[in-house]
């Protein structure tokens, strides 16, 4: 992604020397002037394991980013170092929980709150899985909208081997990989490699470690071709689809389609339809078509020779 502005604009803790770990953020400004945020979980000495400090800081960080950057395009979530995305919840902290179910519920509720902050985030969150994603780390990854994994990543849910069940956002796994594979992973405490995770549908793309940043940038470029409001609208609707039956989900889609055509105050005087994001984007498409301009993606053709506008944006990122 060009036009980088990598100055850290928020942080928790005092750097990697802090045993509690840190969460840092950076902002990249795209040529479109849309900002993209990167959130890095940094506790490499503990494989970026999540303790109460980090679990509490993550929702606050996401809230700060979205409120400080109204036109934020997306968030990239990753772990510090080449070994681990998030190695799980902090075992030492869990081992110190007293024989008190209420205390245990307080800790695991923090894991849920961190995952929920990702799912509730109004912009897409891309999981940049650069290594181990275990237990709570896999639940964080599953909460992301789309996931890109390094070929050396390992993903698993080993909680039963530590005497506890996999809970909270582990409930997302059946929707991603099916009930059979969920049972295998959770009951056996199984760990799988990135390529198998891709076959299962647990991640959407796998690349070599040195290609990870470029591949994530490719996804960002695809998002940047869409309307910011449309992408946010779509994320919210997908979240509703997950919770609704088919008929209610279809009705929700009709509502969200109507919302897309609300005036947003960005219209251009004298330009018909410019009061809405789809009006501007569709109008620009029609003007290019009328003027004989070919969108770069418009050159893609299906096997029967029919031109497919914009198809290149989607096909180039498939594994």
* pLDDT in 10s for each residue of the chain, 319 residues: 544 444 344 444 434 347 799 999 999 999 999 999 999 999 999 999 999 999 999 999 999 999 999 999 999 999 999 999 999 999 999 999 999 999 999 999 999 999 999 999 999 999 999 999 999 999 999 999 999 999 999 999 999 999 999 999 999 999 999 999 999 999 999 999 999 999 999 999 999 999 999 999 999 999 999 999 999 999 999 999 999 888 887 888 888 888 888 888 776 555 556 678 778 878 888 888 887 755 444 444 433 333 333 333 322 233 3
Alpha-carbon distance of 130 to 213, in angstroms, equals: 10
pLDDT of residue 8: 41
* Residue tagged active-site, from 159, 169, 204, 277: 159
pLDDT of residue 256: 86
**Residue 60 and residue 42 share a domain:** yes
Alpha-carbon distance of 141 to 86, in angstroms, equals: 9
**Residue 233 and residue 150 share a domain:** no
**Residue 317 and residue 251 share a domain:** no
pLDDT of residue 316: 29
- Report which secondary-structure segment, H or E, holds 280: helix 277-290
Q: Where are the alpha helices (DSSP H) in 121-245?
A: 136-143, 173-177, 179-188, 194-200, 212-224, 228-243
Of 287, 269, 268, 279, nearest in space to 229 by CA: 279
The length of the chain is 319
pLDDT tens figures, 133-162: 999 999 999 999 999 999 999 999 999 999
pLDDT of residue 292: 73
pLDDT of residue 237: 96
Alpha-carbon distance of 175 to 118, in angstroms, equals: 17
Q: What is the CATH number of the domain that holds 190?
A: 3.90.226.10
**Residue 319 and residue 191 share a domain:** no
User: What is the phi/psi pair of residue 26, to 5°?
Assistant: -135, 155
**Residue 176 and residue 29 share a domain:** yes
pLDDT of residue 277: 78
**Residue 161 and residue 14 share a domain:** yes
Domain count for the chain: 3
Of 205, 189, 105, nearest in space to 146 by CA: 205
**Residue 216 and residue 72 share a domain:** yes
**Residue 70 and residue 120 share a domain:** yes
Is 139 catalytic? The answer is: yes
**Which range marks the domain in which residue 284 is found?**
263-319
Q: Say which residues have a Cβ less than 8 Å from residue 160's Cβ, sequence separation at least 6.
A: 166, 186, 187, 188, 189
* Residue tagged active-site, from 93, 139, 169, 211: 139
pTM of the model: 0.83
Strands 191-193 and 154-156: antiparallel
**Residue 8 and residue 121 share a domain:** yes
Helices (H) and strands (E) in the chain, counts: 12, 11
Is 262 catalytic? The answer is: no
Alpha-carbon distance of 165 to 74, in angstroms, equals: 32
Which 3 state secondary structure label does DSSP give 51?
coil
pLDDT of residue 92: 95
**Residue 308 and residue 237 share a domain:** no
pLDDT tens figures, 33-80: 999 999 999 999 999 999 999 999 999 999 999 999 999 999 999 999
**Residue 134 and residue 199 share a domain:** yes
**Residue 157 and residue 9 share a domain:** yes
């Amino acid at each position: 992604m060009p036009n980088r502005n990598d100055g850290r604009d928020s942080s928790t803790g005092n750097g990697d020397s802090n045993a509690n770990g840190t969460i840092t953020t950076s902002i990249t400004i795209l040529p479109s002037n849309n900002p993209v945020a990167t959130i890095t979980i940094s506790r490499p000495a503990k494989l970026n394991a999540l303790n109460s400090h980090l679990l509490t800081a993550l929702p606050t960080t996401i809230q700060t980013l979205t409120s400080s950057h109204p036109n934020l395009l997306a968030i990239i979530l990753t772990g510090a170092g080449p070994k681990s995305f998030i190695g799980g919840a902090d075992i030492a902290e869990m081992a110190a929980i007293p024989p008190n179910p209420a205390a245990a519920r307080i800790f695991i509720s923090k894991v849920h709150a961190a995952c929920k902050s990702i799912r509730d985030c109004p912009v897409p969150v891309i999981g940049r899985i650069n290594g181990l994603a275990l237990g709570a780390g896999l639940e964080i990854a599953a909460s992301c909208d789309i996931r890109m994994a390094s070929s050396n990543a390992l993903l698993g849910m080993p909680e039963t081997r530590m005497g506890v069940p996999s809970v909270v956002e582990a409930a997302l796994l059946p929707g991603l990989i099916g009930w059979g594979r969920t049972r295998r992973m959770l009951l056996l405490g199984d760990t799988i490699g990135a390529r198998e995770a891709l076959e299962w549908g647990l991640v959407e793309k796998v690349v070599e470690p040195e290609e990870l940043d470029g591949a994530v940038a490719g996804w960002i470029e695809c998002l940047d071709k869409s309307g910011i409001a449309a992408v946010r609208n779509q994320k919210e609707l997908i979240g509703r689809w997950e919770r609704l039956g088919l008929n209610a989900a279809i009705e929700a889609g009709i509502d969200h389609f109507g919302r897309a055509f609300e005036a947003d105050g960005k219209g251009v005087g004298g330009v018909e339809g410019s009061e809405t994001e789809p009006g501007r984007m569709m109008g620009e498409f029609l003007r290019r078509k009328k003027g004989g301009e070919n969108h770069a993606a418009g050159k893609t053709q299906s096997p029967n020779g029919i031109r497919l506008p914009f198809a290149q944006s989607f096909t180039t990122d498939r594994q």
